[in-house]
């Protein structure tokens, strides 16, 4: 029998490679910019299928005055965000993604969604959910190229002391990095990083090309 498992840990994300993880969102409220071009069904170049919809679609089934307090908060906070489901080899990964812009470059803040099923309660109680940063570009043919900011890039900058962002080392061997800086600082870092002469800024193994599909 085929089983579907929901993976949450931000280090796993969609692939087994590691991406930059942050305790707080990479965006500030003023930078959020909804992009309807992302909505719909997509195939990626690793045989994965993506279903991207408006996050608040499931929240707005009732009028605002009849919403529960928690649903109204979700609606207010994530009215411009996406609900993303990626299916690959019978494995589903669910994410909340918030679109934002830095100096005319489009980004997504990815955050794994909690799920109560198919995950051991003891394991789930140890999981810390984190944000990751995706740069995306819509091509002339409608395809979308997405790239995660790779942890190796940040690790190198931190070790060279050319990047001063609050962070903690995590993992059994303290081999991973978790950015603990506030959103304002993270956003400023993106601005600086995009304007820097750092070579191969977005070189990463965690990347996809999405092409339009049907349900």
The answer as to whether 6 is a domain residue is no
pLDDT of residue 121: 72
Mean pLDDT, range 40-44, rounded to an integer: 98
More confident call, 80 vs 59: 80
Rounded CA-CA distance 80/108 in Å is 11
Of 9, 1, 212, nearest in space to 93 by CA: 9
The answer as to whether 146 is a domain residue is yes
Q: Which residue has the tokens 């609050």?
A: 166
The answer as to whether 83 is a domain residue is yes
The answer as to whether 3 is a domain residue is no
The answer as to whether 63 is a domain residue is yes
Rounded CA-CA distance 79/90 in Å is 29
**How many domains are contained in the chain?**
1
Q: How many CA atoms lie within 13 A of 52 on its CB side?
A: 27
Are the C-beta atoms of 120 and 103 separated by less than 8 Å? Answer: no
Is pLDDT at 41 greater than 80 in this prediction? yes
Collapsed DSSP state (helix, strand, coil) of residue 193: helix
pLDDT of residue 61: 59
The answer as to whether 10 is a domain residue is no
The answer as to whether 153 is a domain residue is yes
Q: What are the pLDDT digits (tens) for 141-173?
A: 999 999 999 999 998 898 888 898 999 988 887
Lowest mean pLDDT among 30-44, 102-116, 188-202: 102-116
Please tell me what DSSP assigns to residue 9. -
Mean pLDDT of the chain: 86
pLDDT of residue 16: 38
Domain of 205 in residue numbering reads as 21-212
The answer as to whether 9 is a domain residue is no
């Amino acid at each position: 029998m085929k089983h579907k498992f929901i993976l949450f840990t931000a280090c796993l994300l969609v692939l087994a490679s590691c991406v930059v993880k942050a305790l707080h969102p990479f965006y500030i409220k003023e930078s959020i910019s909804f992009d309807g071009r992302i909505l719909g069904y997509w195939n990626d170049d690793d045989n994965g299928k993506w279903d991207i919809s408006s996050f608040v679609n499931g929240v707005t089934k009732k009028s605002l005055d009849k919403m529960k307090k928690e649903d109204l908060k979700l609606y207010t906070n994530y009215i411009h965000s996406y609900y993303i489901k990626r299916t690959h080899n019978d494995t589903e990964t669910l994410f909340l993604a918030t679109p934002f812009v830095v100096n005319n470059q489009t980004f997504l803040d990815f955050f794994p969604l909690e799920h109560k099923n198919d995950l051991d309660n003891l394991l789930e109680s140890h999981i810390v959910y984190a944000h990751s940063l995706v740069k995306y570009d819509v091509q002339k043919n409608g395809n979308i190229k997405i790239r995660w900011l790779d942890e190796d890039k940040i690790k190198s900058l931190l070790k060279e002391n050319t990047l001063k962002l609050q962070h903690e080392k995590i993992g059994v061997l303290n081999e991973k990095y978790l950015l603990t800086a506030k959103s304002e600082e993270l956003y400023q870092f993106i601005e600086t990083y995009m304007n820097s002469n750092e070579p191969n800024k977005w070189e990463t193994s965690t990347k996809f090309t999405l092409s339009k599909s049907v349900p």
